[in-house]
Amino acid sequence: MAKRKKIAVLFSGKGSNFAHIVNTLHQKECDVVVALTNNPNAEGIKVAEEASIPLEIIDSKAYESRESFDTVVVERLQQYSPELTVLAGFMRILTPLFTEQIKSINLHPSLLPRHKGLNAIEKSYEDEHTHGGVSVHYVTSELDGGEVILQKEVAKEGLDLEAYDAKVRRVEKEALEEAIRIVLL
């Protein structure tokens, strides 16, 4: 049997997308060899602990610059030799120090190039389009600017913001799982 590919997952918050990767792909189609967070209070830490996945906590507030933080993140990731790094709700803008050394993909809750950056779900819900959605793209040093791997649409009709948000978050998980398969498998 072919050796499973190794991935790293970076997160900053609840870790719900990280948990989905653990539940659907980990030790089946690929191995999450490390989880890394920039937030010592991230709820996703529990996900790593429960799945016995090595965890790196690197508090971004302890670094003077994005570059010094990214340098440490790259060094830590390279110790695990992941073939792909997945940003699953990792709320940091990464510098070329990271993007030029680490092959990574990011999940973004809008149909890029629409609504880059923060509050994309709200912006997408309020725009003139009948559909919003999610994108998974390669990470470059341009915020949400890398080549799109896949997109999934979410119809807004008949949904209030809360229902639209919930639907986008469900679709995000499917999109991320699919994109990992496209890139790795």
Structure tokens at 63: 């670094």
Residue 1 has pLDDT above 60, yes or no: no
pTM of the model: 0.92
**Residue among 108, 129, 131, 137 flagged as catalytic:** 108
In this prediction, residue 25 carries a pLDDT of: 95
Instruction: Tally the C-alpha atoms within 13 A of residue 99's C-alpha that lie toward its C-beta.
Output: 19
pLDDT exceeds 90 at position 142 = no
- Cα distances (angstroms) measured from residue 171 to each of 141, 154, 180: 25, 8, 14
Q: What is the pLDDT of residues 115-124, one digit of tens each?
A: 998 899 999 9
Please state, in angstroms and rounded to a whole number, the distance separating the CA atoms of residues 179 and 181: 5
Q: What are φ and ψ of residue 8, in 5° steps?
A: -115, 145
Mean pLDDT of 36-56: 96
The two tokens of residue 137 are 């793209």
| Domains recognised in the chain with CATH numbers | 5-184 (3.40.50.170)
Q: Does residue 93 carry a pLDDT above 90?
A: no
Any catalytic annotation for residue 108? Answer: yes
pLDDT confidence tier of residue 91, bands split at 50, 70 and 90: confident
Tell me the mean pLDDT in the region 8-32. 95
CA distances from 66 to 61, 69, 80, 108, 151 (A): 10, 5, 22, 21, 29
| 59 — pLDDT class (breaks 50, 70, 90) | very high
